[in-house]
Amino acid sequence: MSQEPTQPPSRATSQQIELANLLGVIERAGDLALSEEPSRFAAALDDAAEAAAEESER
């Protein structure tokens, strides 16, 4: 039985695969609490810096 030669995926298909791989991270993370808003990122940096400063003063 002869086999069809494997064609490289088209640009659109490659992008779909790339996107699916990338977005998997969102699905795997599951539910996020309502309080988990984007601005908590900058607050996380500030809180950590503040905590480190307090620790070094002790």
Residues 6+ apart with CB under 8 A from 9: 17
Helix (H) or strand (E) holding 20: helix 11-29
Among 2, 4, 42, 57, binds other proteins (CB under 8 A): 42
CB of 37 to other proteins, least distance (A): 6
CB of 1 to other proteins, least distance (A): 30
Among 3, 5, 29, 57, binds other proteins (CB under 8 A): 29
Among 1, 3, 26, 57, binds other proteins (CB under 8 A): 26
Q: Is the dihedral of CA 12, 17, 20, 21 positive or negative?
A: negative
